Amino acid sequence: MLNRPEEAIVAYSESLKYESKNKGLFYYERSKTYHGLNKINEAKADLQQAINIGFAGVEPAYRQQFGL
């Protein structure tokens, strides 16, 4: 959803309601989208969720920005 971050956030949020297999990915991607909108608290919360779920695709540099 390039260049349509608000729509992407809605789509990730909807996906989180129904999809259990890829929740870590959805939290991570929504985190990055929030970050792009400078919504830092939301970005950090979603990144923490992705980490808690065990999502292995978290970029170390991105994680480090939040001190996680």
pLDDT for position 3: 83
Task: Name residues whose C-beta falls within 8 Å of residue 62's C-beta, 6 or more positions apart in sequence.
Answer: 32, 35, 47
CA–CA dist 6, 48 (Å, integer): 21
**Residue 1 clears pLDDT 60, i.e. is over it:** no
pTM over 0.85: yes
pLDDT for position 20: 82
pLDDT in tens, 3-18: 899 999 999 999 999 9
Mean pLDDT of the chain: 93
**Residue 2 clears pLDDT 80, i.e. is over it:** no
